Amino acid sequence: MSLNPRLVKESFAVVEPVADKAAAYFYGRLFAQSPHLRGLFPPAMDVQRDRLFTALTRIVWSLDSPDSLSSFLGQLGRDHRKYGVIAEHYTAVGNALLATVRRFAAELWTAEIEAAWVAAYTVAAKLMIEAAESDSGVSPAWWPAEVIDHELRTPDIAVITLRPGQRLPYLPGQYVNVQTPRWPRVWRTFSIANAPREDSTIRLHVRAVPGGWVSSALVEHTRIGDTLTLGPAVGTMTPTGSGRDILCVAGGTGLAPLKAIVEHVIASGRRPNIHLLCGARHSRELYDLPDLVRMASAFPWLRVVPVVSDQPGYDGLRGRVPEVMERFHSWADHDVYACGPVAMVDEVVRRLQRRGVPLADIHRDLIHGES
């Protein structure tokens, strides 16, 4: 059974504009055929539906990039262990997915397109199952982690330090899924804000989002001594080790993974020039600035640049981070890392590309968010 990425992409392009309806249909079909699977999912499915199509879109458009596809699916398969997903579940998911695409791409559906989807899903499921089975022998599906410090930096931003029950392996720039006892089966992603430490502790920067179940619980209701549950570390925005100078562009708590990358560079002994631009609407939202200033004073090759957009009386650099970024010299010979609100990161990438920075040198979170 050979892959035909062209047919899968052409049919999926018809489904993409109605992603919300298709995702709702998919889960309705899945739970009608396999009611026992409903217990694996959170009570509210809105975020889950978004995640489904984010992941599916990436898989479809990576079908003709085997290395990228294999890496992403392996990571996805390992991460799904925390939900209690087992090999037998993939058949039900595949049947619901095929029924969904067939329904929403009905005007161009053929036996050849169906065969292409069956082949693609068979390959994807095999990669995910194999990764999960391989990981099960060496790593837990999730990590209980004790809250050992909880510091409210602003009314809606907390810096939380956790001690996992056993070492959680990760790379600087990666993120973890977090579950609180307050909301079982509801997982949200948060970037790890430090490079790996000898004591295995990790730090999260969490902003309470209006209506955000997990983020609000972490900021407002979590206390020292509580236990959270963490999934395995995921994400591809990790240090390249190229030795080149570095630009980091952060918006809000998007600072977290960039700080971890800076810590990693410090620990490595390398001394590239690093510019770290930290954007916020008001100076009071520069919640980690004192620590960043201490780091910069200890390492002269690290320049921390706070940027404030909505505070007319602010003494420092004012404006939107993507605009302020362009006031400096060319970034063409830099490795760039960007994290924060999606619109901000998209604009950073566009502006850098216009200035001649190759897309391959710009690293960003592909799945980053708080809720």
CATH number at residue 191: 2.40.30.10
What Rg do the C-alpha atoms of the chain give, in angstroms? Answer: 22
Is the pLDDT at 22 greater than 80, yes or no? Answer: yes
User: Which pTM value belongs to this model?
Assistant: 0.82
**Per-residue pLDDT tens digits for 160-193:** 999 999 999 999 999 999 999 999 888 999 999 9
Containing structural domain, residue 52: 5-137
Is the pLDDT at 196 greater than 80, yes or no? Answer: yes
Mean pLDDT of 101-108: 94
Instruction: Give the whole-angstrom CA distance, residue 78 versus residue 368.
Output: 18
Clarify whether residues 18 and 94 are in a common domain. yes
Instruction: Give the alpha-carbon dihedral of 276, 277, 281, 287, to 10 degrees.
Output: 10
Clarify whether residues 20 and 72 are in a common domain. yes
Clarify whether residues 332 and 229 are in a common domain. no
Q: At which of 208, 234, 260 does a domain end?
A: 234
Q: Is residue 239 part of a domain?
A: no
Number of domains in the chain: 3
**pLDDT given at position 366:** 53
How sure is the predictor about 8, in pLDDT bands with cuts at 50, 70 and 90? very high
Q: Is residue 370 part of a domain?
A: no
**pLDDT given at position 274:** 96
**Per-residue pLDDT tens digits for 319-351:** 999 999 999 878 989 999 999 999 999 999 999
How sure is the predictor about 369, in pLDDT bands with cuts at 50, 70 and 90? very low
Clarify whether residues 162 and 189 are in a common domain. yes
Clarify whether residues 264 and 230 are in a common domain. no
Clarify whether residues 102 and 126 are in a common domain. yes
CATH of the domain at 92: 1.10.490.10
Instruction: Give the whole-angstrom CA distance, residue 173 versus residue 234.
Output: 9
Clarify whether residues 214 and 111 are in a common domain. no
264: left (phi over 0), alpha (psi -120 to 50) or beta: alpha
Clarify whether residues 181 and 133 are in a common domain. no
Query: Is residue 336 packed enough to be buried (19+ CB in 10 Å), middle (13-18) or exposed (0-12)?
Result: buried
Q: At which of 234, 268, 288 does a domain end?
A: 234
Clarify whether residues 171 and 262 are in a common domain. no
Is the pLDDT at 46 greater than 90, yes or no? Answer: no
How sure is the predictor about 43, in pLDDT bands with cuts at 50, 70 and 90? confident
Q: At which of 176, 205, 234 does a domain end?
A: 234
Is the pLDDT at 1 greater than 70, yes or no? Answer: no
Q: Is residue 51 part of a domain?
A: yes
Clarify whether residues 53 and 75 are in a common domain. yes
Please say whether the beta carbons of 276 and 262 come within 8 A.
yes
